[in-house]
Amino acid sequence: MNPRLILALAWMLLGLRAPVDAQLWRERDSLLRISRQHPKDSFGMLAMMDAGKLYLEYRPDSAEYFIRKALTRAKSLQFGSGKARAHINLGYALINQAKYDEAFTHTQNGLRWAENAGIVKLQVAALVNTANIWLYRGSNMRVIETYEKALALTHRYPDVLPINFPLSIENNLAMMYNGMSLHKKALEILKKTQKKAEAAGLDGVLIKSLEYQAEAYLGLRSRDSAVWYYEKLIPMCRTTGENIVLTSALSNLADLKMKMGQIELSKQLYQEALELAVQNNDGINQMYVLHGMGLVALNEQKWRESASYVKTALELGIDQKAGAYTFGLYQTLSYLALVNGEMDKYRQYFDLYQQGRDSVQNEKLIGVLQELETKYATKEKELRIAQLTQTQKNQQRLVLGAFLLALVAGVAGWLAWRNQRNRKQIAEQSLQLQEQKFKELEQEKQLLAADAMLKGQEEERRRLSQDLHDGLGGMLSGIKQSLAAIKGNSGLTETAALALGKTIDSLDQSISEMRRLARNLMPEALMRFGLKDALQDYCDHLSSSGKLSVQYQTFGLEERMPEASEVIVFRIVQELLNNVVKHAQATVVLLQLLRDGQRFNLTVEDNGVGLDTLALENAQGIGWTNIRSRVDYLNGHLDISSKPGNGTSIHIDFSLL
């Protein structure tokens, strides 16, 4: 995801444009002259701010200087809408200088003043600014939430903003979903956006919609659909002169054609893409194209030609600071070195590739953890900071009083008290050590009992599941076959045949219900393939009804965990999702599993009716009792965050057994 694409939307909302240097100086001098002529009215304040806006994209520090002056004037004039404009434009200038905390403060102030003034366009601009800040901070979920708020405003006031504003927001929202690998969600948005853009004749919006749809199908590995969209997109880009998008589309289509075995066509497409990238001085796309041409040559076993292309691509990647993509280039070069028998180069390139891959994985993990912290802990953290601040003040007063008292009491009294305290502490420590030993023995005893109980339950579930499937299931299937044979007897009356058909249908339902019970007792996928695949199967089963969309995400589950841990986690997730189905009235539920070494984190979040967490603490239902007992068995921590009407978020973390 490229933040500059999102900044372009804010640029449009703020009414900015790209002046040439001579024109910029003339306009700036004219605006500053107007500002000096009207030092005490809103006209002069707006002129000062417009002078700053001329620099927003090119000299954000100069833009900040003029807009701060305009903000000072707006405050002195008590000019509400002027303060809104100044705060929002100042936030944009600070974003371009990577001053994200200060930018966030000014943008939120601008949003409040825009709401007070009832200026919808400024509210949307402030929300897009906020989305930019969350994107630079790596908080993708906050970006999506902010875009959805901006979209809701444009839909509530459809006559205030041109149609291209909400459609551009929809495109950027879909781009975020693509970046999070939620390609189906992105396609739902983009197909609607495409129809609206075609109806309104908005070529620029339509091109972006087609581009992101092609990328979504690439992510879904739907090669034919991706080819169809790229072949539709490329002629439009040629007509409108969208050379950057055209270069990317040609490169991606060339890659697809190569994988489809159409090598000559792939070469032609790559050559055209390279010429465009060079013409537009587009180093990043030159790197992508040259890598692709190297892969085509590798496919033809032209090793030297392939190495030449890829090395040139690597030089461009380093020059353009392409980051993670350069590690893929190292991987290709390591393969070429291996083919040519250059083992030293192979080891060198492969080590660089592995180092880069590990750093990217660490960055992704850090991003996930930051996302989770931002999403679930912001309010709690602010409250905790306030409590700690108040506690610190109280402690400072107590310390001062104790210090004065100690001075009055004197050194002799203090020494006597210290000796008495030391003796008491020694006695208390001895008592605590004994109590700790008793507690450890008791906990060990309880753990053994819980382990035996859980193993017994799972063994019984496994036995019942097998008996149902092999015994009762076989018997019911045999009965069904016998009834079907009877039904085929032409000697039956029409009434008897109809009754027998209903009986067979009822038997089919009974067999399906028996299989569902057997699968819930002990899913075959859990035993054979492990937790990751078993939960995928279970989530797909829940989503198949169409009433609930289960979004399933995993990190670090490539290797299987101990069987006991997998079974317990599966039962916890099964119980939590059953609660969502039965009680939450939700349409979407998010299931996330994150493993970092021996630490394991589980999150279930829904958009349902929520629940009363205080009442849940005293709940005696079997489901919650089982969840708590399993979390306690894992020595884990269970955290529930919910309010009636606002959905529910449940987070569990523990160390693996």
- Assess whether 36 and 133 both reside in one domain: yes
User: Which residues pair with residue 605 across a beta bridge?
Assistant: 590, 649
pLDDT at 527 over 60: yes
Contacts for 60 with CB less than 8 Å, ≥ 6 apart: 93, 94, 96, 97
- Assess whether 115 and 232 both reside in one domain: no
* Secondary structure letter of residue 592 according to DSSP: E
Q: Flag whether 321 is in a domain.
A: no
pLDDT at 205 over 70: yes
**Final residue in a domain of this structure, among 158, 177, 203:** 158
Mean pLDDT for the chain? 78
User: Which residues pair with residue 596 across a beta bridge?
Assistant: 599
Q: Flag whether 114 is in a domain.
A: yes
Cβ count near 141 (within 10 Å):
15
Q: Flag whether 591 is in a domain.
A: yes
d(CA 252, CA 275): 15
Helix, strand, coil tally for the chain in percent (to 5): 75, 5, 15
- Assess whether 14 and 85 both reside in one domain: yes
Provide the residue range defining the domain that includes 236. Answer: 162-240
Total of domains in the chain: 3
- Give me Rg for the CA atoms of the chain: 33
- Assess whether 121 and 224 both reside in one domain: no
Task: For helices 120-136 and 164-179, give the axis angle rounded to 10 degrees.
Answer: 20
Q: Flag whether 207 is in a domain.
A: yes
- Assess whether 189 and 215 both reside in one domain: yes
Q: Flag whether 440 is in a domain.
A: no
Higher pLDDT, 144 or 380: 144
Contacts for 551 with CB less than 8 Å, ≥ 6 apart: 182, 588, 589, 590, 591
d(CA 571, CA 557): 17
d(CA 209, CA 223): 18
Phi, psi of 524, rounded to the nearest 5 degrees: -65, -35
Q: Using a CB cutoff of 8 Å and minimum separation of 24, what contacts does 215-221 make? A: 215/178, 215/252, 216/174, 216/178, 216/183, 216/184, 216/186, 216/187, 216/190, 217/183, 217/187, 218/252, 219/178, 219/181, 219/183, 220/183, 220/184
What are 55-103's pLDDT values in tens digits?
Answer: 887 788 988 999 999 999 999 989 988 999 999 999 989 988 889 899 9
Give the residue carrying structure tokens 């089919």.
Answer: 508
Give how far Cα 10 sits from Cα of 6, 130, 161, 585, Å: 7, 10, 13, 37
pLDDT score of 105: 94
Mean of pLDDT values over 346-375:
60
Cβ count near 634 (within 10 Å):
21
- The CATH number of the domain holding residue 626 is 3.30.565.10
**Final residue in a domain of this structure, among 158, 187, 204:** 158
Phi, psi of 324, rounded to the nearest 5 degrees: -60, -30
- Assess whether 80 and 195 both reside in one domain: no
pLDDT at 387 over 60: no
Q: Flag whether 568 is in a domain.
A: yes
- Assess whether 15 and 152 both reside in one domain: yes
- Assess whether 71 and 182 both reside in one domain: no
* Secondary structure letter of residue 398 according to DSSP: H
- The CATH number of the domain holding residue 153 is 1.25.40.10
Within 13 Å, how many C-alpha atoms sit on residue 414's CB side? Answer: 10
pLDDT at 352 over 70: yes
With pLDDT > 90 as the criterion, what percentage of the chain qualifies? 19
Mean of pLDDT values over 621-643:
83
Mean of pLDDT values over 381-401:
56
- Assess whether 104 and 185 both reside in one domain: no
**Final residue in a domain of this structure, among 101, 134, 158:** 158
Give the residue carrying structure tokens 């040629």.
Answer: 238
With pLDDT > 70 as the criterion, what percentage of the chain qualifies? 72
Buried b (16+ CB within 10 A) or exposed e, 610-625: bbeeeeeeeeeeeebe
Among residues 78, 171, 158, 90, which one has the least CA distance to residue 120?
A: 158
What is the band of 386 on the pLDDT scale with cuts at 50, 70, 90? low
pLDDT score of 369: 39
pLDDT score of 231: 92
Mean of pLDDT values over 248-277:
90
DSSP three-state, residue 79: coil
Q: Flag whether 224 is in a domain.
A: yes
pLDDT score of 633: 82
What is the band of 537 on the pLDDT scale with cuts at 50, 70, 90? confident
* Secondary structure letter of residue 470 according to DSSP: I
Mean of pLDDT values over 589-615:
89
Q: Flag whether 380 is in a domain.
A: no
- Assess whether 622 and 592 both reside in one domain: yes
What is the band of 538 on the pLDDT scale with cuts at 50, 70, 90? confident
pLDDT at 1 over 70: no
- Assess whether 133 and 50 both reside in one domain: yes
DSSP three-state, residue 573: helix
What are 509-519's pLDDT values in tens digits?
Answer: 666 556 555 55
pLDDT score of 65: 92
Q: Give how far the C-alpha of residue 439 lies from the chain's centroid of Cα atoms, to the nearest Å.
A: 42
What DSSP assignment string belongs to 495-537? HHHHHHHHHHHHHHHHHHHHHHHHHHHS-HHHHHH-HHHHHHH
- Assess whether 138 and 74 both reside in one domain: yes
Mean of pLDDT values over 261-288:
90
What are 179-192's pLDDT values in tens digits?
Answer: 888 899 999 999 99
